[in-house]
Amino acid sequence: MDTHVTVNMPPVNKAPPISLNGVDTPKLFATIGAVVDQPSLAQFRFRARNKWVSGTQSRSTIAGFFGVGGDMQHAAPFEASADHPTVLCGEDQAPTPVEWVLHALAGCLTAGIVNISAARGVTLEAVECVVEGDIDLQGILGLSDKVRNGFQAIRVDFTVKGNAPEAKLRRIVEHASARSAVLDILTGHVPVTIEVDA
């Protein structure tokens, strides 16, 4: 079976891309070209280590990942805490885990919009969004088997301003949505395995 890969590289007769919107556009296209030449470079494994603090609070440390054929380290470890508000039996010391999911979706879509805009030569003035998720706690409280535990619906409302017509900006957002890893995680069926080392 033949596999055809389409890569949106700049035409040969055009000037090489310039950095735009804070994105190193030449590096972006070089990365795409490197993966086309050697697809194994696209295999990444991200990881987080979490430790319970107290009550419903826990803290994750994100320090390293596997990518481009080997183990990599972030410039410095990142820490992110999660908790529940007091109305949900927590101490309200950090966002809830489901709020972190909304943050992840917003961050992924925004990064995609900025990268795609830079690759298409669009200078952005502003990218903002509001992300809302509806959840019915009857599921996670064990009160109903008919109510799902997670979000029942998520809405993302973007405001994007740049030096392109509205239709082009909308297409950029659509492209970013179509290529969003976090949106795919939320809408696809990602196999999750849970093991216990007691």
DSSP 55: T
**pLDDT average, residue stretch 95-115:** 97
Got the DSSP string for 5-25?
----PPPTTSPPP--BTTB-H
pLDDT recorded at residue 20 = 84
Q: Longest C-alpha distance within the chain, in Å?
A: 64
Residue type, 140: I
Decide yes or no: CATH 3.30.300.20 for domain 95-189.
yes
**pLDDT average, residue stretch 122-143:** 95
> Per-residue pLDDT tens for 42-101?
889 999 999 999 999 999 999 999 988 899 999 999 999 999 999 999 999 999 999 999
**Which residues touch 91 (CB under 8 Å, ≥6 apart)?**
54, 55, 56, 57, 83, 84
**Which residues touch 156 (CB under 8 Å, ≥6 apart)?**
105, 106, 109, 129, 130, 131
Q: How far apart are CA 116 and CA 111, in angstroms?
A: 9
- Domain coordinates in residue numbering, the chain: 38-90, 95-189
CA distances from 132 to 39, 44, 46, 88, 182 (A): 36, 29, 26, 18, 15
pTM equals: 0.86
